[in-house]
Chains A and B, each alone.
Chain A
Amino acid sequence: MAGRKGREGEMLESVYSVLALVFILVACVELCDAATVVDVYRLIQYDLSGVPFGSRFASLNHHAGSLPFAPGADLSRTVVIIPVREINLTLIRDCITQGKALGGFLLLLPQKLSPGNRKYAIERDRSQGKELMRNLLFDLEQLLIHANIPYPVYFAFEDDKINTVLADVKRNDATGQPASATTGGYKLLVSTSEPKKLTSPTITNIQAWLPGLKADGDANQLPTIAIVASYDTFGAAPALSVGSDSNGSGVVALLEIARLFSRLYSNPKTRGRYNLLFGLTSGGPYNYNGTQKWLRSLDQRMRESIDYAICLNSIGSWDNEIWIHVSKPPENAYIKQIFESFLNVAEELGVKVGLKHKKINVSNPRVAWEHEQFSRSRVTAVTLSELSVAPELLESSGGLFDSRQFVNETAVTRSVKLVAESLAKHIYGHQGKKIQIFADGSSLAVNPFYIESWLDLLSRTPRVAPFLKKNDPFILTLKKELSDHVAEVNVQHEVLDGMFTFYDLTSATLNIYQVASVTFDLLLLLVLGSYLILLFSFLVITTRGVDDLISLFRRPTSRKVKTA
């Protein structure tokens, strides 16, 4: 008997423990049941010499609102959703400069600019809408990256789901109700940790050395020509800064030139008497910091053997005019020589090349063009670019609008031809002769498919330097590609100079919930309570009679009556 009881007790205990476990597990079930989940990209957060810029916060848990604001409304717990197409820049500017307390911004970019959108049409004609959008995005970007914004700012791409949410929010706002506690609100939730500083961000320079033909008994070092392009970008949304034109086009051109010349140099009969040094530098937007460090790290003899350097910057969307920027005066013999060779080739190709001279101010730390870093190290250099004026700090470094659609393979192909032919003329001494080495249809023709596929790859890879780790797959890809063409490839890691400090968290997922207010649930409780009471009374009346119902409430008195 006792044994059976003991076994029963044990069984009961195990049953209880299993039940408890089930309850705990069930209580932990927290599924994400949001109506909409969207990938969002955060505005960049950085400090420039200690001054904070960009959006200083990342996590978001507020109601959604839309433009136009109700005057005097309290928006400190509202996230304003604005499609960029309809944005009013002056309003945003006022909002930011007045320091208006806001829950956050969610800016919706047009679907066309989405990197995953394969249906982009490479439009040759610059339609009016595209130019407007480009200018708008440029202005918006400049406004946002030079402001200190104390709330989260996120970018997302428009799609059907988020458009319906926005339409709903607009409708609710139009009726004048605040979005917080009453009917049909939407709640936006981004749950991330606080953004942290990136300690010692690395910038990686890749150099490739293609040696020339050294004649036997020649003790002197062969002269070198350098071709350089910076590959990293900077933009308002670092996770979207693909910089197709600035400077993806430069990188692609450099790779193609490396390929062509490696083919030429592979045969000793056609190897030139010049070494070629290819450099893919990082730190471009930050006053070409990486280029400076790379030049300093070069062996002094190698640096002195550089005849001149050609820097490529934004050569992907020009039609028939391109510029050569110099810092040495145009009367300089070297500059004249270089410019003339470019001019000759340009005539053959039917395009115009202009020369622009900008003096270097040594006391000013601003380095607008890459060739200025070379000039500061006493190396002759020029920059080939479609831009006619020097860009300001953090301008033209691959922003929101710099996506695949704004780059043209034919422009890049033309640039490659221009640079390659003028280089070849210089190396092989064919000045003034009408010889085309990289003619179309020959085995040394510029390969448009190579250019197109590399442009596509670059337009899918955001390349903001602090967020590229030392052995990022992209850097390894570039290294591998160069080593396919050239035997000696070196990778150099440096630390970005202290003027810029960056913070992490560049992308997140946004959950959009449709929420009902507490008042709704209270009303519901009231209704349900009355329904159950009615049901109870109805059932008592029909099954037991009305007297029973009354007797439920008057039991004590009725008993008194009975006894009396």
Chain B
Amino acid sequence: MTVFHFFNCAILTFGPHAVYYSATPLSEYDTLGTSVKAALVYLGTALVKLVCIATFLKVPENDGFDPYQELLKGLIGFIDVAGLYFALTQLTHRNISQNHKFQAVGLGWAFADSVLHRLAPLWVGARGLEFTYEYILQGLEANANLVVTVSLAALGSLMWLRKNKPKTLIPIIYVCAGILATMPSITSYLMRGLGWHLPKVVGFELFTSFVMAFISWQLFSACQRPA
């Protein structure tokens, strides 16, 4: 029964990535290489972030919300954005349209994130006798993260890869990208500063991720019209 539960949580956490890959034209254009390269870039970014966190942040004494520490963590989070920039612009991809490039990069990035952050707790925890809703919530969080990452990759590709953008939309693009980039800080503020419980936080994440995805989709199609 417990391995069963592990299996369930695993398909909740990693299933959508596979489904996304096979359902969209990504599979037709065989963009797996891009995704793998994006995953490797994520690994490198994670390493750099770890080193920065270890160097600059103190070990928290209590579980409360320390604004200064959270600000530092947010700033370090921007290393993520830098990594995404690197993955989108610097890596050599095969000839795939921009439309598919950001999707592939976002997918690879989100998959690496899920594996790194969620596979180990799942393997160790979900196989035990004890039942908690934690792993199901973690899976939902992974889904939200996928949406957020793909939206961020879309906005990123808009910012760095597309040269002719309608002037009015540029600030909106940057604002949305900023919000998406600081999502981790926002959730940790909610959990520690306001004391929200995990289900509420996951609900919030899902809601905002869908809203932001919708907005980014609109922005992307708006920018696509002149071209």
Interface residues of A (CB under 8 A from B): 26, 29-35, 187, 189, 513-518, 521, 524-525, 528, 532, 535-540, 543-544
Does B64 reach chain A (CB closer than 8 Å)? Answer: no
Given contacts A528-B12, A543-B24, contact A518 B19 (CB under 8 A): no
- Which residues of B, 117-146, contact A by the 8 Å Cβ criterion? 123-125, 128-132, 136
- Which residues of B, 132-191, contact A by the 8 Å Cβ criterion? 132, 136
Does B22 reach chain A (CB closer than 8 Å)? Answer: yes
10 sample A-B contacts, Cβ–Cβ < 8 Å, listed by A number: A26-B123, A32-B128, A33-B128, A34-B129, A513-B131, A514-B132, A515-B129, A521-B5, A535-B23, A540-B24
Does B44 reach chain A (CB closer than 8 Å)? Answer: no
What residue in chain A is nearest B217 (Cβ atoms)?
A542
- Cα distance A26–B122 when bound, in Å? 12
What residue in chain A is nearest B136 (Cβ atoms)?
A524
Does B8 reach chain A (CB closer than 8 Å)? Answer: yes
The digit string for B1-23, where 1 denotes a CB below 8 A from any CB of A, is 10011011001100110011011
- Cα distance A552–B85 when bound, in Å? 36
What residue in chain B is nearest A535 (Cβ atoms)?
B19
A521's partner among B4, B16, B128 (CB-CB below 8 A) is B4
Set of chain A residues within 8 Å of B136, measured between Cβ atoms: 524
Nearest chain B CB to A418 CB, angstrom units: 58
Nearest chain B CB to A460 CB, angstrom units: 33
Does B25 reach chain A (CB closer than 8 Å)? Answer: yes
Given contacts A521-B4, A535-B19, contact A543 B25 (CB under 8 A): yes
Interface size on B (CB < 8 Å)? 24
Do B25 and A514 touch (CB < 8 A)?
Answer: no
Set of chain B residues within 8 Å of A517, measured between Cβ atoms: 1
- Cα distance A537–B19 when bound, in Å? 10
Set of chain B residues within 8 Å of A518, measured between Cβ atoms: 1, 4
Do B16 and A532 touch (CB < 8 A)?
Answer: yes
Do A29 and B124 touch (CB < 8 A)?
Answer: yes
Do B128 and A514 touch (CB < 8 A)?
Answer: no
Set of chain B residues within 8 Å of A30, measured between Cβ atoms: 128
- Cα distance A318–B123 when bound, in Å? 61
- Report the 7 A-B pairs with minimum CB-CB distance, sorted nearest first: A539-B23, A516-B131, A513-B129, A33-B128, A543-B24, A513-B130, A536-B23
A514's partner among B5, B11, B131 (CB-CB below 8 A) is B131
What residue in chain A is nearest B103 (Cβ atoms)?
A543
Set of chain A residues within 8 Å of B123, measured between Cβ atoms: 26, 29
Do B23 and A516 touch (CB < 8 A)?
Answer: no
Set of chain B residues within 8 Å of A29, measured between Cβ atoms: 123-124
Do B129 and A189 touch (CB < 8 A)?
Answer: yes
B8's partner among A31, A32, A515, A524 (CB-CB below 8 A) is A524
Set of chain B residues within 8 Å of A189, measured between Cβ atoms: 129
- Cα distance A523–B3 when bound, in Å? 15
Do A544 and B5 touch (CB < 8 A)?
Answer: no
Do A536 and B22 touch (CB < 8 A)?
Answer: yes
- Cα distance A540–B20 when bound, in Å? 9
A34's partner among B12, B15, B124, B130 (CB-CB below 8 A) is B130
- Cα distance A543–B19 when bound, in Å? 13
A515's partner among B20, B22, B131 (CB-CB below 8 A) is B131
Nearest chain B CB to A520 CB, angstrom units: 8
What residue in chain B is nearest A33 (Cβ atoms)?
B128
Set of chain A residues within 8 Å of B131, measured between Cβ atoms: 513-516
Set of chain B residues within 8 Å of A532, measured between Cβ atoms: 11, 15-16, 19
Given contacts A539-B23, A539-B24, A544-B25, contact A33 B8 (CB under 8 A): no
Nearest chain A CB to B19 CB, angstrom units: 5
- Cα distance A517–B5 when bound, in Å? 10
- Cα distance A29–B122 when bound, in Å? 12
Nearest chain A CB to B98 CB, angstrom units: 15
Given contacts A515-B129, A515-B131, A539-B24, contact A528 B15 (CB under 8 A): yes
What residue in chain B is nearest A549 (Cβ atoms)?
B23
Set of chain B residues within 8 Å of A187, measured between Cβ atoms: 129
Set of chain A residues within 8 Å of B132, measured between Cβ atoms: 514
What residue in chain A is nearest B131 (Cβ atoms)?
A516
Set of chain A residues within 8 Å of B5, measured between Cβ atoms: 516, 521, 524
What residue in chain B is nearest A524 (Cβ atoms)?
B8
Set of chain B residues within 8 Å of A521, measured between Cβ atoms: 1, 4-5, 8
A33's partner among B19, B22, B23, B125 (CB-CB below 8 A) is B125
- Cα distance A441–B24 when bound, in Å? 96
- Cα distance A536–B22 when bound, in Å? 8
- Cα distance A513–B124 when bound, in Å? 16
Given contacts A189-B129, A528-B11, contact A540 B124 (CB under 8 A): no
What residue in chain A is nearest B133 (Cβ atoms)?
A516
A539's partner among B1, B7, B8, B20 (CB-CB below 8 A) is B20
Set of chain B residues within 8 Å of A538, measured between Cβ atoms: 23
Nearest chain A CB to B113 CB, angstrom units: 18
Set of chain B residues within 8 Å of A543, measured between Cβ atoms: 23-25
What residue in chain A is nearest B126 (Cβ atoms)?
A33
What residue in chain A is nearest B100 (Cβ atoms)?
A543
Set of chain A residues within 8 Å of B23, measured between Cβ atoms: 535-540, 543
Set of chain A residues within 8 Å of B11, measured between Cβ atoms: 528, 532
Do B4 and A35 touch (CB < 8 A)?
Answer: no
- Cα distance A264–B5 when bound, in Å? 75
- Cα distance A518–B132 when bound, in Å? 14
Set of chain B residues within 8 Å of A516, measured between Cβ atoms: 1, 5, 131
Do B25 and A515 touch (CB < 8 A)?
Answer: no
What residue in chain A is nearest B1 (Cβ atoms)?
A518
Set of chain B residues within 8 Å of A514, measured between Cβ atoms: 130-132
- Cα distance A33–B127 when bound, in Å? 10
Nearest chain B CB to A550 CB, angstrom units: 14
Given contacts A521-B8, A544-B24, contact A535 B130 (CB under 8 A): no
Nearest chain B CB to A517 CB, angstrom units: 8
What residue in chain A is nearest B12 (Cβ atoms)?
A528
What residue in chain B is nearest A540 (Cβ atoms)?
B23
- Cα distance A515–B131 when bound, in Å? 5
